Amino acid sequence: DDDKPDNVITLRMSPMVFVYLQQFWLEIIDYINEGILGDTVWGTIKSAESFLKESVESRTGFDIEVQSPLVVIPRNCSSVEKLAAVLGDICVTSHFSLRPASYFKGQVAVEDSLWYRTFEVGIKGITLRAVTDSPGDGGGSKPSLGGGGGGDGDGGAIGNGDG
């Protein structure tokens, strides 16, 4: 037996922007948990659990790269003040190793070797900044709430590049 996966799921994602509005997300979560989609989603989650279990049994590897997602967290729904977090380049890979294991099958102790999956997560280049959009500036960002960034103390802007 070698430690290479039987197959690999590869995912590459270009830079994206995620805006977090707490009330909006709470309503979505409530709709999913309690609303019309509840049974469908929970059935999907059970299917996902089944898929993950089968992916270990078949040694399905994961190779995921996400390029610099931007997460924007406004102070509130109507505020121009916000936190902007560039999460850097994110890589997630999985590796398999065969290790000795002891477990019970019914009431019988079994000594065996089992495949274990290890996830390796790497994040490079995280930046956190506080910014304010000035009314009438076309949505551009101006540094106004203080520093941030990579510890260089220069603050900076995230937006249309005019800062």
Q: What is the pLDDT along the chain (163 residues), one digit of tens a residue?
A: 577 888 898 999 999 998 888 877 788 777 767 765 666 656 666 666 676 666 556 788 889 999 999 999 888 878 888 889 998 999 999 988 888 888 888 888 888 887 788 899 999 998 888 887 765 554 444 443 333 444 333 333 444 444 3
Distance CA 133, CA 144 (A): 9
| Distance (Å, whole) CA 63 – CA 55 | 13
Q: How far apart are CA 163 and CA 156, in angstroms?
A: 7
The model carries a pTM of 0.52
**Which of left, alpha, beta for 125 (phi over 0: left; psi -120 to 50: alpha)?**
left
18 token code pair: 């995620």
